[in-house]
Amino acid sequence: MKLLITGAAGRLGSKLVELLRSQGHSVTGADIVGEGVTRIDITNFASTRALVADLKPDIVLHPAAWTDVDGCAREPEKAIQINGLGAQNVALAAAAVGAPILHVSSNEVFDGQRAQPYREYDLTNPINPYAYSKWYGERAVQSVNPQHYIVRTAWLFAHGGKNFIQAILNAAAAGKPLRVVSDEVANPTYNDDLAEAITRLISTGRFGVYHLINEGACSRYDFARYILSKSGFAETPVQKITSTEWPRPSLPPAYSSLSNLAARQIGITLRPWQEAVDAFLAKEGRLV
């Protein structure tokens, strides 16, 4: 199969390139930055359409996005341009050559006002600019390319990038005081597990909306405590705070845990988040 993967210089995009090439597929990794990738600016429709028309891929995977949530709050129009209109450009270009698209979205499209996990077709209601831009992207993809997979995920952590696990470990190692919110709940998800699940999903031809997350949910505080307990910092004190005590430009949904109902029906599940964290720490040489 011939694939085009946007955001190939990013953590998820690069892992998808690696996995799919190892499975024998012909893969073009594209991004606006990075080494060894084809150049693409998803905000430029003409050039995006030209690249896709030239490659004629069998499917386009679109993890490219602006994921700086607080940055999106400061520059909401830029967020729409990249995460909304950029997704529309890629979806239109794919549709023009008859190619399906897989678009990666976020748990933040929900408002966090319920107390049980969100299913794939529960009503969305974004409450911050990043969330709105991702919701816009979902709607754009769905409206212009009927052959689509929408994959929502949450609290992604990956090797080699900035993420919550590394921030907690770095602070603990430096002896810095830790203050972590306890009223924000979602699903910690391992980048490598998500990439593997996506490769399985695109082989099914079952278009639709999917929640691909490591099983189970926790608060940021409980997530931090688990990380510390498994990496030799179990005695590190952590102050439990509320989100109002951690002011930031973007307001995240309080409860945005996702339920994997649709993918489970076709045999695609991810292991519990605790096992995924253990695997991440082991690969980083931090599991004790």
* pLDDT tens-place string over residues 111-145: 999 889 999 999 999 999 999 999 999 999 999 99
Residue 80 is given by DSSP the state I
* pLDDT average, residue stretch 202-209: 97
Residue spans per domain, the chain: 2-162+188-216+257-271
Distance CA 97, CA 144 (A): 13
Strand partners, 238: 178
Fold of 2-162+188-216+257-271: Rossmann fold (3.40.50)
Residue 34 has pLDDT above 80, yes or no: yes
Residue 243 · residue 175 · CB < 8 Å? no
Give me 126's structure tokens.
């974004």
Question: What confidence score (pLDDT) does residue 215 get?
Answer: 98
Of 105-119, 134-148, 238-252, 254-268, the range with the lowest mean pLDDT is 238-252
pLDDT value, residue 212: 98
pLDDT of 161 > 80? The answer is: no
Band (41; pLDDT cuts 50, 70, 90): very high
Average pLDDT, integer, range 191-200: 98
Computed over its alpha carbons, how large is the radius of gyration of the chain? 19
Separation of alpha carbons 156 and 57, rounded Å: 27
pLDDT at 193 over 90: yes
pLDDT at 158: 96
177: pLDDT strictly greater than 90: no
Mean pLDDT of 228-244: 95
130 is catalytic: yes
Strand 185-186 with 218-219, pairing: antiparallel
CA angle 185, 249, 11 (to 5 degrees): 65
Q: Stretch 224-234: mean pLDDT, rounded?
A: 97
Q: Pick from 72, 75, 103: which is nearest to 87 by CA?
A: 103
Give pLDDT, residue 238.
Answer: 95
Coil, helix or strand for 132?
helix
**In the predicted structure, residue 168 carries a pLDDT above the cut 80:** yes
Q: Residue 11: its pLDDT value, please?
A: 96
Q: Residue 273's pLDDT band (boundaries 50, 70, 90)? A: very high
Q: Which residue in the list 130, 149, 226, 255 is annotated as catalytic?
A: 130
Q: What is the mean pLDDT of residues 82-99?
A: 98
Which secondary structure element, helix H or strand E, spans residue 88, and what is its range? Answer: helix 86-96
For range 151-168, the mean pLDDT:
93
pTM for the full predicted model: 0.96
Binned at pLDDT 50, 70 and 90, residue 285 comes out as: very high
Place of tokens 């012909």: 26
CA distance 63 to 5: 8
What percent of the chain is modeled with pLDDT above 70? 100
**Summary mean pLDDT of the chain:** 96
pLDDT score of 56 more than 90: yes
Instruction: List strand residue ranges (DSSP E) for the chain, in order.
Output: 2-5, 26-31, 38-39, 59-62, 101-106, 148-153, 156-157, 178-181, 185-186, 189-190, 208-211, 214-215, 218-219, 238-241, 270-272
Give the integer Cα–Cα distance in Å for 131 and 124: 10
Residue with tokens 């386009």: 60
pLDDT > 80? residue 73 = yes
Q: Does pLDDT of 216 surpass 80? A: yes
